[in-house]
Amino acid sequence: MDNKKKERAGLFGGTFDPVHLGHLRAAEEIREQLSLDMVYFIPAAIPPHKNTTHTTPSGQRLDMLRLAVGDNPRFDICDYELGKSTASYTVETLRHLNGLNPDSDYYFMAGNELFGEIETWKEWRELFRLSNFAVITRPGYPDSNEAKLPLALENDFSYYKEKDGVQFYIDKNSKLIAFSKIRGLEISSTEIRRCVNSGRSIKYLVPASVEEYILRNNIYRTEE
């Protein structure tokens, strides 16, 4: 990361099992809307928010992410969480990144369906000292279109402004929550895994290189 100028960076955490065009399009739209210099994809080692019994080995999820972001100079990967042996908690990742790059202006990106449960995240109040948030209105989730603060944040944040269709809320430390409406693509990793498992095509749902990797390595053939 660039240490000379204050970098505006999006942090996109997820399982990415596998990464799909919905993730990539969402990251690109948010990057443009918030004028971010970079978006860092952060694959989770053991996702604390998920009840998945089977997660594809991190090496393969990382390979697929590398293939997916390789042609976008404004996308990169942070593999910090994969190097840990314990569950990956966002608060620890944010602490780590703030320690490395104290001058970066971070926007942690989360789908509205996840952000709505923010008070269940570890040390959730601390999250807002460490980062701004970009909340994505995820296509296909009926309740996700509302730019509405979760109840737990109503006392700390107040409405600030709207810019280019993005609604901003602000707290006393000037940390922002940006509710971004994206056009997006209604795709999920679950759908991709199911398609592969039942022998259906995933063309145009994931980058061609990722499709090729999945088929070549026989991933998702026995799951679900």
Nearer to ligand ATP, 64 or 114 (CB): 114
Of the residues 24, 77, 114, 147, which one makes contact with ligand ATP according to CB under 6 A: 114
130 binds ligand ATP (CB under 6 A): no
**Which span (67-75, 90-98, 109-117, 197-205) binds ligand ATP, by CB under 6 A?**
109-117
Please state, in angstroms and as integers, the Cα–Cα distance from residue 113 to each residue in 58, 136, 138, 168, 172, following that order. 24, 9, 8, 18, 25
14 binds ligand ATP (CB under 6 A): yes
Nearer to ligand ATP, 61 or 173 (CB): 61
184 binds ligand ATP (CB under 6 A): yes
CB of 4 to ligand ATP, least distance (A): 30
Distance, CA of 191 to CA of 65 (rounded, Å):
17
> Residue holding tokens 């989730």?
141
Distance, CA of 115 to CA of 213 (rounded, Å):
31
Distance, CA of 180 to CA of 70 (rounded, Å):
25
CB of 44 to ligand ATP, least distance (A): 8
190 binds ligand ATP (CB under 6 A): yes
18 binds ligand ATP (CB under 6 A): no
Alpha-carbon torsion, ordered 123, 127, 180, 189, to 10 deg: -60
Residues 37, 61 contacting (CB under 8 angstroms): no
Measuring CA to CA, which residue among 76, 105, 132 is closest to residue 6?
105
Q: Name every residue whose Cβ is closer than 8 Å to that of residue 157 and which is 6 or more positions away in sequence.
A: 149, 169, 170, 171, 177
62 binds ligand ATP (CB under 6 A): no
22 binds ligand ATP (CB under 6 A): yes
Of the residues 62, 78, 108, 111, which one makes contact with ligand ATP according to CB under 6 A: 111
Applying CB under 6 A, which residues contact ligand ATP?
Answer: 14-17, 22-23, 26, 110-111, 113-114, 136, 138-139, 184-190
